Amino acid sequence: SAALAGTIGHEVADICLKTKVNAFQITVVEIDGVQHDVPEETQVAVNNYIEFLHSRGGTIMSEVRIDYAKLLGVPKGDGFGTSDAVILLDNGDIEIHDLKLGHGIVEVSGNPQLMLYAAGVAATLEEATGESVELATIGIYQPAASRFGSTEDMTKKELDAEIKDLKSAAKSAIAAEKLFKVSGPTPQFYEDYTRAGEDQCKWCKHAASCPTLLAATQEVVAACTSDDFDVVSAPSLIDDAPVRKAYESIPLLENFIRAVQDEVYARALAGRGEHVGVKFVAGRAGNRKWADESVAATQLLVVLPAETVYTKTLLSPAKAETALKKAKATSVDLSTLVTRSAPSKTIAPINDPRPEWSAEGATTNDFE
């Protein structure tokens, strides 16, 4: 469902950039021959994204296929991707932007996908014009993180250095693939070519059976285990370093736990639940709802007044904002009518793109 929601949002953004229509005008999109309604929150997010791109200036190109196989030293067809938006600025600089509609915060700094896109566009332009791109801006627009986008400028020298490192990583990956095809997942293979980490383990299909990941999680747990009681506890508060290391390992541990849970579920579905110590039981029943609302209303109205049977509620501020934009009504100032509780403090990694919380900076106004 998350992937579908993202696809719908990107389809709306592509239509907006190519036809110059407002996101609120797009209520249905077709994906793989199937019609999908566009949720209101998607319209809002995409509309803000489009406005952000136009604020950057230059010529915007949507859904641009970029080939960077040559830059990585891999076979043609093994190194390519599609950039959500490429902006060509009048001064010869370029910008590469990615729309992220998920809630898992994605870092723009050091983002290999965007750096490869930038290098690919720069190489194509240099080949076509004979002039090198001296500055590339990579950016991520993620409504869950910020309404203003997150960007990072990279000089040609900086970009070339990063691509050199990625080329080395690609070479290692090719060597690992060749070894795997010959000898399979031997202990030596895992030792030489696998490194446990949040990014690389998050979507790996073999996370539940990977000895490297298991060893990494055991190392973290062992560091937080009391020798006296054989229980997991927080590391010593005398030194911040072990606390920080344990905190930064939480995503890795969570990935491993999810991978094991998924594997156990799959084995239970295959009839092997007893072997892994689980069984299927009845879960919680669903919420009650009317089998037929019209029949229920008819019977309830016999004994109850209409104002009890039916409820009337005012539409939400978000829906009101959408309705006003569609109606092109400007006489109502929603900022004078809307309030919300101030944001509360929440923990995030030090490199999170969101600004640090401060009581003075907190606002309850959606429209500022």
In 3D, which of 166, 158, 124 has the Cα closest to residue 138? 158
What was the pLDDT predicted at 225? 66
What was the pLDDT predicted at 368? 47
pLDDT tens digits for 155-205? Answer: 999 999 999 999 999 999 898 989 889 988 888 888 888 888 888 888 888
What was the pLDDT predicted at 367? 47
One DSSP character per residue, 145-208 reads T-SS-EEEEEEHHHHHHHHHHHHHHHHHHHHHHHHHHHH-S-HHHHHHH----HHHHHT-TTGG
For 102, the token pair is 């998920």
Q: Considering only residues 303 and 329, tell me which one the structure prediction assigns the higher pLDDT.
A: 303
φ/ψ of 205, rounded to 5, equals: -75, -15
Burial class (CB in 10 A: 0-12, 13-18, 19+), 214: middle
For 45, the token pair is 């997010």
Token pair 């156990």 is found at: 264
What was the pLDDT predicted at 291? 93
What was the pLDDT predicted at 361? 55
Read off the pLDDT band of 359 (50, 70, 90): low
CA torsion 325→330→336→337, rounded to 10°? -50
What was the pLDDT predicted at 218? 84
Instruction: Give percent of the chain with pLDDT exceeding 70.
Output: 93
Best mean pLDDT range from 70-79, 220-229, 240-249: 70-79
Q: Does pLDDT of 32 surpass 60?
A: yes
Summary count for the chain: helices (H), strands (E):
13, 7
Q: Considering only residues 83 and 200, tell me which one the structure prediction assigns the higher pLDDT.
A: 83
pLDDT tens digits for 84-136? Answer: 999 999 999 999 999 998 877 788 888 999 999 999 999 999 988 888 999 99
> Which long-range contacts (C-beta less than 8 Å, at least 24 apart) are formed by 109-113?
109/152, 109/351, 110/162, 111/138, 111/140, 112/162, 112/166, 113/81
Token pair 């869950």 is found at: 144
Q: Mean of the pLDDT values across residues 238-252?
A: 77
Strand partners, 140: 98, 150
pLDDT tens digits for 261-309? Answer: 988 999 999 999 999 899 988 888 888 999 999 999 999 999 999 999 9
Read off the pLDDT band of 348 (50, 70, 90): confident
DSSP state of 288: P
What is the average pLDDT score of the chain? Answer: 86
Q: Mean of the pLDDT values across residues 332-358?
A: 81
Q: Does pLDDT of 81 surpass 70?
A: yes
pLDDT tens digits for 302-328? Answer: 999 999 999 888 988 888 888 888 888
- Pick left, alpha or beta for residue 109 (phi over 0 → left; psi -120 to 50 → alpha; otherwise beta): beta
